Structure 1
Amino acid sequence: MRVGLVCPYSFDVPGGVQFHVRDLAEELLRRGHEVSVLAPAEETTPVPDYVVSAGRTVAVPYNGSVARLNFGPVTAARARRWLAEGDFDVLHLHEPITPSLSMLALWIADGPIVGTFHTAMDRSRALQVASPLVGPLLEKISGRIAVSEEARRTVVEHLGGDAVVVPNGVYTQRFVDAPKAPAWEGTPERPTIAFLGRLDEPRKGLQIFLDAVPTVLAAIPGARFLVAGRGDVAEHRAAVERYGDAVTFLGPVSDAEKESLLASVDLYVAPQTGGESFGIVLVEAMSAGAHVVASDIPAFRAVLGNGDLGTLFPVGDPAALGATLLGVLGDRSASDAVRRAGVAGARRYDWSVVAGQVLAVYEMVTATAPVRVQEDPRSRTMIGRLRAAIDETTAGGRR
């Protein structure tokens, strides 16, 4: 099968969606399919051979984060050329209503199209306004996938219709087999507790993690806290200077370093306050054998089996986090049982399982629309019609 994957977010600063697209492409290639990925990327950014760059992006604040998006006539021309050369059996768009590359491809293409929705949010004025405008575009999607029940709820409530839940995938064996790093390994007297995430996004919860440090150190003076991720650490480092070497900022880590970190530490903490649709790093940590302690948001609760595969604490409460960490560290036998359950539970997210579910959707849409992906003859006027609809909606709101 010839598969075209479109990623709306830049490969220059990869995140969860980019990693998902990359890993899905590699799993499909491993199974013998032909795959091409269209994604934003600077010319100097190294990308795999199967990735075609759609050019540079613009940083836009979105859902508590920063999305690097790619839009405009030059990008549209590149997307048309990629679609024409690809001669795809199925086109798989990720975040197809985000105003970036995937939406452009949806305008341009016709035929067997699959859309994966990654985002979860409670309210979105932008989605409410855009919903009637993008309705005709969404009708072109033959098969909808949501990466979690939270993402599915967002689709149902904001866009109408439904989606089948196919979770994010993880190459779990890479984490199972990851070598431990002596510098990051803990002992009963000096347990190691890790955070991994973007440091300058408040919703990732780094401050909650750091505010729990004194509670743990008061009871376990040798505890060590490892902070990995991109972002300016100056402000955070200054706030924890009084703890000496108990808190270590590791900076950005490679895939191999992340695997080793999660395999080495006693606890992995996910203190996010919201805006998460899944929690792929929880699955990675579970696979590596770390005991996961996570904030009790719906997406994390689902991944952790309501607390059977990890430990949950109240959202945004550093005192509760500190007490939870001490409780886990104080009962090693119970913690070991949770670790084993986590390793077993993570297997259902392995790409060997998830890719089969994605391929089942591909087979369904190609069976119901037995044509190849092609250019939609209406596409060259769609942008104009969308602008007119937006102008009309705006004018109506002023009346």
Structure 2
Amino acid sequence: MRIGIVCGYSFDVPGGVQFHVRDLAEHLIATGHDVSVLAPAEDATPVPDYLVPAGRTVALPYNGSVARLNFGPVAAARTRRWLEEGDFDVLHLHEPITPSLSMLALWIANGPIVGTFHTAMDRSRALQVASPLVRPLLEKIGGRIAVSEEARRTVVEHLGGDAVVVPNGVFVDRFADAPRAEAWCGTDERPTVAFLGRLDEARKGLPVLAEAIPQVLAQVPGARFLVAGRGDVTEYRSTLGHLGDAVTFLGPVSDAEKESLLASADVYVAPHTGGESFGIVLVEAMSAGAHVVASDIPAFRAVLDGGRYGTLFPTGDAAALAAALVPALRDRGASRSVVEAAREGVRRFDWSVVTREVLAVYEMVTASGAHVREDPRSSTVVGRLRAALDGRTEVEQ
């Protein structure tokens, strides 16, 4: 099958959606499919051979984070050219209503189209304003996927319609077989706790962890906290510096280093405060054999099966986080039982399983035998807007 995948977010500073797109593409290629990915990226950014860079982006605040998007006449021209050259059997758009390449591709293309929705949110003024415009446009999508029940809820409440839940994927064995790093491995006397996330995004929960660390050290004096991720650590060094080598800031880590870190740590902590639709790093940590301690937000609760595969604590409560970390570090036997349960449960997220579910959606939307082609009404912005506003947008067979 000839598959075109569009990612709306930049590969210059990749995040969860970009990693999902990358891994899905690589697993599809490994199983014999012909895949091309279109995504924002500077020409100098190293990208895989199957990825076509669509140029520089604009950084915009979005859902508690910063989204780097590519939208405008130049991006539209590149998208149109990529679609023309691709002759795709199916077009797979990630975050199709985000004003970036996926929305442009949806605007321009017709035929078998699949959309994956990654975002979870309770309220969005932007979606409320845009909904009357994008709902008719979304009728062009023949198969909708949400990466979690939270993402599905967002689709249903904000956009109308429904979506099938197909979770994010992980190469489970890659994390399970990752080499351990001696510097990051814990012992009975000095167990290690790992945190990974963008340090300057409060929703990732580092302020909650920073408040909990002294409380943990009061009961487990030898504990070590390994903090990895991009962002300014000046504030945290000033507040945690007196703890000496109990806290180590590792800075950004490569994929291989992340795998090794998660395989080496006794506990992985995810103190996020919201804005998460899934929790891919929890699945990675479970795959690597770490005991996961996570805030009790809906997405994390679902991944951990209500606490069966890890420990949940009340969101934003530093004292509760400390109370959850202490037994996880002290009772290594109990931790091992949780880890073993998680090793089995995490198999449902392996790419071998997830890709089969994605392909089932592809097969559904391509059953007519049509190919992706240009929508003749996309030649003018006014024409497309008028068609969307009067509700006449339809998928042409």
Q: Once the two structures are superposed, what CA deviation does each residue of 1:102-150 show, in whole Å capped at 9, x if it has no partner? A: 0000000000000000000001111111111111210000000000000
Q: Is the 8 A contact 1:107 1:382 kept in 2?
A: no
Q: Is the 8 A contact 2:12 2:42 kept in 1?
A: yes
Other structure's SS at 1:20 match:
helix
Other structure's SS at 1:132 match:
helix
Which structure 2 residues correspond to residues 39-188 of structure 1 after superposition, within 5 A?
A: 39-188=39-188
Deviation of the 1:386 alpha carbon: 3.0
Partners of 1:144 and 1:246 in 2: CA distance: 46
Which residue is equivalent to 1:24?
24
Other structure's SS at 1:240 match:
helix
Deviation of the 1:389 alpha carbon: 8.3
Deviation of the 1:370 alpha carbon: 1.9
Please identify runs of 4+ aligned residues in structure 1 that moved more than 6 A: 387-390
Partners of 1:384 and 1:243 in 2: CA distance: 63
Q: Once the two structures are superposed, what CA deviation does each residue of 1:33-83 show, in whole Å capped at 9, x if it has no partner? A: 000000000011000000001110000000000000000001100000000
Deviation of the 1:233 alpha carbon: 1.1
Which structure 2 residues correspond to residues 203-282 of structure 1 after superposition, within 5 A?
A: 203-282=203-282
Partners of 1:383 and 1:252 in 2: CA distance: 44
Cα 1:316–1:103 change in 2 (3 A) is same
Partners of 2:387 and 2:306 in 1: CA distance: 47
Alignment RMSD: 1.2
* TM-score, length-scaled by structure 1: 0.96
Other structure's SS at 2:194 match:
strand
Partners of 1:245 and 1:154 in 2: CA distance: 42
* TM-score, length-scaled by structure 2: 0.96
Which residue is equivalent to 1:353?
353
Partners of 2:49 and 2:85 in 1: CA distance: 16
Partners of 1:26 and 1:278 in 2: CA distance: 21
- Letter of the structure 1 residue corresponding to residue 166 of structure 2: V
Deviation of the 1:313 alpha carbon: 0.3
Which residue is equivalent to 1:304?
304
Partners of 2:174 and 2:327 in 1: CA distance: 29
Which residue is equivalent to 2:291?
291
Which residue is equivalent to 2:393?
none
Other structure's SS at 1:378 match:
helix
Q: Is the 8 A contact 2:113 2:365 kept in 1?
A: yes
Which residue is equivalent to 2:8?
8
Which residue is equivalent to 2:395?
none
Deviation of the 1:383 alpha carbon: 5.1
Q: Is the 8 A contact 1:4 1:36 kept in 2?
A: yes
Partners of 1:200 and 1:26 in 2: CA distance: 30
Which residue is equivalent to 1:397?
none
Q: Is the 8 A contact 2:5 2:93 kept in 1?
A: yes
Unaligned runs of 5+ in 2: 390-397
Partners of 1:63 and 1:350 in 2: CA distance: 27
Other structure's SS at 2:238 match:
helix
Other structure's SS at 2:66 match:
strand
Other structure's SS at 1:12 match:
coil
Partners of 1:184 and 1:99 in 2: CA distance: 41
Which residue is equivalent to 1:33?
33
Partners of 2:328 and 2:193 in 1: CA distance: 11
Which residue is equivalent to 2:324?
324
Deviation of the 1:234 alpha carbon: 1.2
Q: Once the two structures are superposed, what CA deviation does each residue of 1:245-267 show, in whole Å capped at 9, x if it has no partner? A: 11000000000000000000010
Q: Is the 8 A contact 2:90 2:372 kept in 1?
A: yes
Which residue is equivalent to 2:189?
189
Q: Once the two structures are superposed, what CA deviation does each residue of 1:204-242 show, in whole Å capped at 9, x if it has no partner? A: 000111111111111111110000001111111111111
